[in-house]
Amino acid sequence: MTLVEDTRAADRLGSVSSGNALELRGVTKMFGALSAISDVTLTVQSGERRAVLGSNGAGKTTLFNCVTGDFLPTSGTIRLFGEDVTRFPAYERIRRGLRRTYQISLLFNGLTVADNVYLACRGVSRGRFSFLRPREDDALLTRADELVEAVHLTEWRDTAVANLSYGQQRQLEIALALAGAPRFILFDEPAAGLSPAERAELVAILRGLPGHIGYIIIEHDMDVALRVAESVTMMHNGRIFKEGTPEEIENDQEVQELYLGDGHG
């Protein structure tokens, strides 16, 4: 099963823009006097798969929030596929192919699984304001059902999200991020709280994504992170602390002292 629709269109778009999916220049986000991230400069190429590591409060989620536009950064610039999106609202960035999952599931509790995924498919296509109900054979409905199946929730497709288990909600989070034709995805601790079997499933989904789709994954579990990422960025106290290949990071003396030693590994 293909997880992502219309790869050709996405490839076409990808070839038009520059080779970088994401470029951050001196991005800072202050919450009052606290700088959650300071002067972050980061480049991720199209199709690149990056892991972001860092202890609690290092600023990883804040970094994602700035990239997606959930928060506007206090200073710095953010370029998405070569375009300056620093002041764009979140929905404009999403329509350009950015996707994300949330560390704490942000779903539509009053709606069913199928409706949640259908909304995700609808959000990145036209007809968001349509007053006409979709036909039974509507392409987006079919597409939504495929995504529901891909995350093994077919049995629960008509269940209200509020009645799903924690693990199922995490899987639904992933389905929402795969809707439409994603070009770059931000995964915020997708494996947190999953069982070993569910983790293996997650790794399979991530590794099965088409090559043109890059992503950043925040992951405390080094086993997962190193199996799905080709490069690693370490964050500490809101700053980028180290960048390198998984091997370089794993063997780095400073990193081991700072991070691998403190019980997260």
Ligand X SMILES: Nc1ncnc2c1ncn2[C@@H]1O[C@H](COP(=O)(O)OP(=O)(O)OP(=O)(O)O)[C@@H](O)[C@H]1O
Contacts of ligand X in 2-31 (CB under 6 A): 31
**Distance (Å, rounded) from C-alpha 258 to C-alpha 189?**
20
**Distance (Å, rounded) from C-alpha 93 to C-alpha 98?**
6
Give Cα 2 distance to the centre of its chain. Answer: 18
The answer for residues whose C-beta is within 8 angstroms of residue 15's C-beta and 6 or more apart is none
Give me the least distance between CB of 143 and another protein, in Å please.
11
Residues in contact with another protein, shown as a per-residue x/- string from 45 to 84 under the rule CB under 8 A:
-----------------------xxx--------------
Contacts of ligand X in 44-73 (CB under 6 A): 54, 56-62
Q: What is the dihedral of CA 152, 156, 158, 163, to 10 degrees?
A: -130
Whose Cβ is closer to Mg ion: residue 45's or residue 103's? Answer: 103
Cβ neighbour number for residue 83 with a 10 Å cutoff = 14
Q: What three-state secondary structure class fits 224?
A: helix
Contacts of Mg ion in 17-76 (CB under 5 A): 61
Give Cα 189 distance to the centre of its chain. Answer: 9
Among residues 32, 33, 129, 195, the one that binds another protein under rule CB under 8 A: 129
Whose Cβ is closer to Mg ion: residue 103's or residue 159's? Answer: 103
Q: Which residues bind another protein (CB under 8 A)?
A: 68-70, 89-91, 94-95, 100, 102, 106-111, 115, 118-120, 122-124, 127-134, 136-137, 142, 145, 176, 179-180
Q: Which residues bind ligand X (CB under 6 A)?
A: 31, 36, 54, 56-62, 103
